[in-house]
Amino acid sequence: MVEDMQKNQVKLRNHSVDLVKCIAALLVVSVHADAFSEMSPVLENIINGAFGRMAVPFFACVTGYYLTKYTEQNGRAWLNNVKSLLKYYILLSVIYVIWSSLSNQFQEMSVAVIVYTVVKRFVIYGTYYHLWFFPAMILSVIVLHLSIRWHKERLCWMLCLLGVIFGALTYNWHHLISWEQLPVLGRMMGWYDFDYIRRFITLIGPFTFLGNFIFRHKDQWMEK
């Protein structure tokens, strides 16, 4: 994804990041495949429930870091990143749409409803629920690009922090908190689209800007 940003430039690979990306990709597969569940519930909780949940934030953070870096060299870096994401997203979407059609998931739907459903999923939810990351990441890349262009990165850091705090209030933390009993928050949490919005404002967006924040402060930290 990020690698396509510098097509005409010499790429200096960070092999440590590449290694962690490979591990993170395997963890994503493990989470969705529910690996280790039959082998050991404890092992499943450690690998899938703990380490596996770090994979997507890591990808978002890496994207934010390198997009910020490459934007200083190439103002179209964000566009290259979006194209790269779309390339994989469209390919996977076509596969899942064909599979959904063959498994009769569109049965009794009119052509207009099928088109509307596929387009809405593609833009908001992910064509298949495993693919929710793509529209969220594309939106995050665009927001980061605009924040850099308009010099609003500090504002976005604060908004992302507020988003994380808000998101934390929408989880019950193993039934220790019942925020859903609040009238406004309760109705919001019952909204189908809310879960996808929450993933952006509490996960993809904040961690993308965390990568941006790290890049902006790395020299200052290295001097200490």
CB of 132 within 8 A of CB of 199? yes
Sequence-ordered list of residues with C-beta below 8 angstroms from that of 61, at least 6 positions apart, any chain: 207, 208, 210, 211, 214
Q: What confidence tens digit (pLDDT) does each residue in 130-150 have?
A: 899 999 999 999 999 999 999
Average pLDDT of the segment spanning 20-49:
89
Q: Return the pLDDT at 11.
A: 58
Mean pLDDT of 4-13: 55
* pLDDT given for residue 9 in this prediction: 47
Mean pLDDT for the chain overall: 88
* 8 DSSP assignment: T
Query: Are 1 and 81 in contact, with CB atoms under 8 Å apart?
Result: yes
Q: What is residue 178's predicted lDDT score, i.e. its pLDDT?
A: 65
Q: How many CB atoms lie within 10 A of CB 63?
A: 24
Encode pLDDT of 170-185 as tens digits. 776 555 666 666 677 7
Contact 135, 126 (CB under 8 A): yes
pLDDT at 8 over 50: no
Q: Select the highest-mean-pLDDT range: 35-39, 42-46, 140-144.
A: 140-144
pLDDT at 31 over 50: yes
Written as six digits, the tokens of 74 are 């190439």
Global confidence as pTM? 0.88
Q: For the chain, what are the domain ranges?
A: 2-217
Rounded (5°) CA angle 137-74-205: 20
Q: What angle do CA 209, 215, 218 make, to 5 degrees?
A: 135
Q: What pLDDT sits at residue 70?
A: 93
In this predicted structure, which of 3-7, 99-103, 158-162, 185-189 has the lowest mean pLDDT? 3-7
Element holding 135 (H helix, E strand): helix 133-149
